[in-house]
Structure 1
């Protein structure tokens, strides 16, 4: 079913999100689809690719979400009627669907364990979180009855009664890579306490005088932003801010190692840290905390070192070990790249993703328009 018309919508994610834009939308455009992309472009001070039709939305942030959801409902009503597929990337968007007439396939891309992720939401009072988790479960059950679902992780299957396809966060793996160097450490990804920013900053301070440069790339929450600015002013690291995925990964090339210092939180225990795969894809050894998926990937394939959770000194020791052992560094980088190229190259995943969209669009269009029921 060539030439699908797809409406992609998010009010939470950065419009340059790697999964949404650089993998999924890129694959759709390459397949000849017509893509309308509704996202918070102005809020993130970014613009859309010329190949897509852009619709600017407010950003849903903290407790301030009502304006973004109202705007998203309007976009879904006005643009969704002509779409063969409506692809939603935020659980919040499920709340605006009841009562809308959407004749195409409506697909929710499940990026995370939403209920577990509430633990890390500082804007949500602790006393409210159990009630919020119950609400999330109710919405997920409604979504499973009414929508098509794709999951970013196999570990999310246990939250649902039916079997849903997994479209994992694989990455683009170049055929050849620059050898891992000895003088630069990198981090690519969102920056928050839950993702280990405090440990990374402590490690950067401990490495002062070592001759190592530390490049940090990614969007930061307000706390992390202040801490990173201070650390950069003090000369401990270079924070590049948010950089589009393709340019961010170019900064990984030739690095000594890549950091993945996620904390031991429920939302991360069933997830593969995408940054681990990205470091492997670029031939860079990984220094990671021992989350199950990271342990499996780095230890089975011998492409990285594990450090305890919340341990800056152990992180520094791992970095210095790789700096001082060129043979270990080179062998880990080569093995990681080979494994990523064989099993985690996005174009292989993209084919299955597009086949799913086309099958669902074909199944939806022969039927009369269905009005999505109430929650």
Structure 2
């Protein structure tokens, strides 16, 4: 295994942390990580997710400016972590979320991605929405890759980009593919993303697997290029953990490439995005999802309208505009103390 080396790109220095093997190894490396962080003499330390909570406390104890950034609602998200024994998941959710709350009282700023978390942190958190980073989504590299990935085909192309796991509804999306094909529409599915819990081997026995092209984990630009060549993107996630409240970055990415979608009818998603870029379905009702995909595939004019509306939405909601929240946090913390 090659040891990562320090590198620099676009004015950013990438410094590898202490090597660790497995989850327990990551816990054991935290003191070394704290020492390494101190040697770097940062003006602000921006730490992500619960594994860094002890480091955040250590840095604050030593008088540093610290941002704690939590990307998920861990009061619910740990309920779908398969590596945690089921009887321990609920206590783990409580313990982690309570610790996050206590740490938010001592760090200089807390960033969250879901509106409900602002209240959960007692109003001491700043909402930084999960806007897509799309600076390169319409660039020349993506256009060239899209041309390379284009297909001479007489079938419809569905697509899902994201982690592959049962908690994210991958079984249901294959069920939808099977239903679409059973309705007489020749369709194939691109699956792009990491095999989070070893589910791919089991999926190979699914009746629709012969119509699946599993591409594994792809870089951002490659994923955008595949989106540009698909007909419908799917995000039919079950209503578990915090899925219904988490901003769906994959939908924003689909819209950026003019890809209409079929997605779970979660009120937070639908109220924010609206009804002009895709179809919303009850993830528990297979027939509803199959019907939505079939109708969308059979209506190219509707797909085009959805594509145009989605791209217009992304012109107004993207990381390039949302990043100002983060930059303002940095400006506030790097100003004079007191």
Tell me the TM-score range normalised by the shorter chain.
0.7 to 0.9
| Alpha-carbon spacing, 1:155–1:287, altered in 2? closer, same or farther (3 Å) | same
Q: 2:302 aligns with which of 328, 331, 341?
A: 328
| Aligned residue pair count | 316
Question: What is the CA-CA distance between 1:279 and the residue it aligns to?
Answer: 1.1
Please say if residues 168 and 238 of structure 2, whose CA atoms lie closer than 8 Å, have aligned partners that are also in contact. yes
Please say if residues 6 and 15 of structure 2, whose CA atoms lie closer than 8 Å, have aligned partners that are also in contact. yes
Q: Which residue of 2 aligns with 1:244?
A: 219
Q: Which residue of 2 aligns with 1:86?
A: 45
Question: TM-score, normalization: structure 2?
Answer: 0.82
Q: Secondary structure at the match of 2:211?
A: coil
Question: What is the CA-CA distance between 1:229 and the residue it aligns to?
Answer: 5.0
Moved over 6 A (4+): 45-49, 175-178
Cα deviation, 1:329-366, whole Å, max 9, x if unaligned, reads 11111111101212x12111123312312321335xx4
Q: 2:32 aligns with which of 57, 71, 74?
A: 74
Please say if residues 260 and 275 of structure 1, whose CA atoms lie closer than 8 Å, have aligned partners that are also in contact. yes
| Alpha-carbon spacing, 1:212–1:50, altered in 2? closer, same or farther (3 Å) | farther
Q: Which residue of 2 aligns with 1:319?
A: 293
Question: TM-score, normalization: structure 1?
Answer: 0.75
Q: Secondary structure at the match of 2:282?
A: coil
1:202 equivalent to 2:202? Answer no
1:263 equivalent to 2:244? Answer no
Gaps of 5+ in 1: 1-41, 368-375
Separation in structure 2 between the aligned mates of residue 102 and residue 94 of structure 1, nearest angstrom: 14
Question: After the TM superposition, which of the residue ranges 220-229 and 257-266 deviates more from structure 2?
Answer: 220-229
1:278 equivalent to 2:219? Answer no
Please say if residues 138 and 257 of structure 2, whose CA atoms lie closer than 8 Å, have aligned partners that are also in contact. no
Q: Secondary structure at the match of 1:271?
A: coil
Which one has a larger percent helix, Structure 1 or Structure 2? 2
Q: Which residue of 2 aligns with 1:4?
A: none
Separation in structure 2 between the aligned mates of residue 250 and residue 58 of structure 1, nearest angstrom: 34
Question: After the TM superposition, which of the residue ranges 201-210 and 74-83 deviates more from structure 2?
Answer: 201-210
Q: 1:165 aligns with which of 120, 126, 132?
A: 126
Question: What is the CA-CA distance between 1:193 and the residue it aligns to?
Answer: 1.1
Question: What is the CA-CA distance between 1:233 and the residue it aligns to?
Answer: 10
Question: What is the CA-CA distance between 1:238 and the residue it aligns to?
Answer: 1.1
Cα deviation, 1:194-236, whole Å, max 9, x if unaligned, reads 1111101222333457332211111122332323455699522
| Alpha-carbon spacing, 1:56–1:78, altered in 2? closer, same or farther (3 Å) | closer
Question: What is the CA-CA distance between 1:149 and the residue it aligns to?
Answer: 0.6
Cα deviation, 1:76-109, whole Å, max 9, x if unaligned, reads 2222341122221121210344444655421111
CA RMSD of aligned residues (A): 3.1
Please say if residues 164 and 194 of structure 2, whose CA atoms lie closer than 8 Å, have aligned partners that are also in contact. yes
Q: Which residue of 1 aligns with 2:77?
A: 117
| Alpha-carbon spacing, 1:213–1:140, altered in 2? closer, same or farther (3 Å) | same
